Structure 1
Amino acid sequence: MHQIAAEIPPQLFVENAPFLFEQKLPQRPGKPFTGSADQCKPLRISLSERFIGHEFSSRGARVQRQQTLRCTIVRRYANCAMIQIHALPAFNDNYIWLLQDLSSQQCAVVDPGDAKPVLGWLAEHPDCRLTDILITHHHNDHVGGVAELKQATQARVLGPAAETIPARDIALVDHDRLTVLGLEFVVHAVPGHTLGHIAFYHEDATTPLLFSGDTLFAAGCGRLFEGTPEQMHDSLERLAKLPDSTLIYCAHEYTLSNLRFAQAVEPDNQDIAQRLAEVTRWRSENRISLPSNLALEKRTNPFLRTRETSVKEKADERSGGQNTSQSAVFASLRAWKDKF
């Protein structure tokens, strides 16, 4: 383990959402945020919903929403800096997460599989400088834009040591700590989707952040291209031990199809039914379904529910025999999902 650009991270506070659809997390997306803007809590979270290519009124102002969909606004109270997290769509269903420090006008991106959305955003924000590129794994839809962005911006590239990452400056291993835009992240090794896959976790007493790549999805998990079911199950169990309030920024908009599978696994799970209805409505309105949160995932993600009797019974039914361990239940579910 080693520490990258170590410094004491500033205390975090979060401001209320400046646009429509204020929400309280982590329990139920879509319900109103009830806190006061004058309250001073260790961390408050609020979300602003944005749409693709639609105009709408936001508290009386006419605004044009383009490719940025949903943001989380975080205030670093110690120095009054603001971090805003943007979702930049790429390809058919990827999201490139862009973290913008509104105070220093520096930014970082996670898994830029395509340079064009990032370069386009930078062109629209000429005062903002890209300083860091964080990579979770080596698949091209996550690293395809790295070399071009590195050449254009000279940003620092950080990625897993166990994989070949273009233009990488710093190779990361499990438990490494790095500081990006004043926020400290811890590296979690999460093999399964690929053998060297990592996730980036920012710890906070109230609202932690997790950039999970293709390991933990909203209501699902990544396919096993390189690792074993046991490895992926262990990785998910490790992430499941993070605080329930952790916001999960995964790399794909797979939530709707994942929830349809989850409902097939647990047809009587009312949390899944409610979430499926909500996400179906959101997607019909071109609204992003992310970030998720760990409390919600524990209630609605079958790959985090392998110890539940109903999930095991369905896995046994599908595999035609008794699955004697949670990793075996996971393997049965994953094989079913691959063909779902």
Structure 2
Amino acid sequence: MGIIFSEGSGVNDSIFGKCQTPIKIFMEKRTEAFENDSVIEKLFSMQKSKNFAEKATGMTSMHGFSPVGEGGAYPKDEMQEGYSQTFEHETWKDSFSITSEMAEDSVLLNLKKRPAAFLNGYHRTRELFGAALFGAALSGSNAATMRGKKFKTTANDGLTLFNTAHTSITGECDDQSNKFTNAFSADVLGKIECEMQNLKDDNGNILAVTPDTIIIPNLASLKKSVFEAIGADKDPATANNGFNYTFGRWKVVVWAYLNQYIASGTAPFILMSSQYNEDYGGALWFDRRELTMKSIIDENTDDNVWKGNARWCAGFNDWRAFAVGGASAGTTLT
């Protein structure tokens, strides 16, 4: 995602004219570097939007073919709209200024410091927003608070993303859980993986979800446990050279921004199916307007003011893309 630039009248003819292009190039390159390291790009299905709000919905599956015997009539199959979720865009703004003295002295390092801090703040805000959504979901809250405003963190069934009793809109499937209390271990990883693989759609059909990503806060003990469990081709729990079937099958995302949302003494971990997340919209992020910059001269201070704004929204839709382990409350696997 790039940056859209515009300039107010008189900027190019002012003492700030020569610094406009270097600042633009610097900001564009800085944005590319941030996007390469972005965690939200890995955890959310990133979408473009042209609407005031976006509605995510789908249809339930059909029951499939039935044996009818010789000359039998065609059964009439049915499907209906599934749960839906609406995402409404929010406008985000910030600004910075470059003094006329800085421009006159033409100190390139100083000219870059403020754009760098500005872009750091923009991309950090996006990462923090994504972390706030997942953090609130980990705590069992139905809303995240970001800069004084609340954003919902419920899935499309109206329940918290991680829940022990996710419902079916058709009533043809028993309640399902994606919230487990078991602490991380190689065995627990395999058990929660199986739970996700056995998840069913609203009609009770197994979906064969394939989790492939482990998301953890930046906790040394948890990182050690995770990489010990998946990092060797032999059984990590014994010395008998038994085969470790988890080896080479997992991607790990360590997200330091999650740390502030977890309770002391807890070590939650999230499993995600990146394919299911992309195909069915587990976590969705909609960019309505990419970062748009405008450079103007403040007539009161003679400073060069850079204003930036963007519109986006994000949240959760289909909970089946995720499961959490190490939760303080939930289903305990045996």
TM-score above 0.5, yes or no: no
RCO higher in structure (CA 8 A, sep ≥6) = 2
Please identify the structure whose Cα radius of gyration is greater: 2
Using structure 1 for the length normalisation, give the TM-score: 0.23
Using structure 2 for the length normalisation, give the TM-score: 0.23
